[in-house]
Amino acid sequence: MKTKKWGDLPPRVRKTLLVAGSIEGLLKVAALVDLKRRPAEKVRGSKRAWGLAITFVNSFGAVPLAYFARGRR
């Protein structure tokens, strides 16, 4: 199976990928900024563990959203 290159993708797919990637990036930045500013006693679990998960897990926004929904007190 031949791998498609960026230029081979239809414009609609490229736009969708760019929008999804931008949203993912913005969610990660917002979650990391909030995590940095929030005192440790107001975070459920380890700040370090949340930071690593938010940074390194590619999850289409699921980890940052989980942090906002369940990780904060």
- pLDDT confidence of residue 62: 84
| Separation between Cα atoms, residue 36 and residue 40, nearest integer Å | 9
- pLDDT confidence of residue 15: 97
| Residues recorded for the chain | 73
What the block records as the tokens of 67 is: 């942090």
At 39 the three-state DSSP class reads coil
pLDDT in tens, 18-65: 999 998 899 899 999 999 999 999 999 999 999 999 888 877 778 888
Strands (E), the chain: none
Q: Do residues 57 and 63 make contact, with C-beta atoms less than 8 angstroms apart?
A: yes
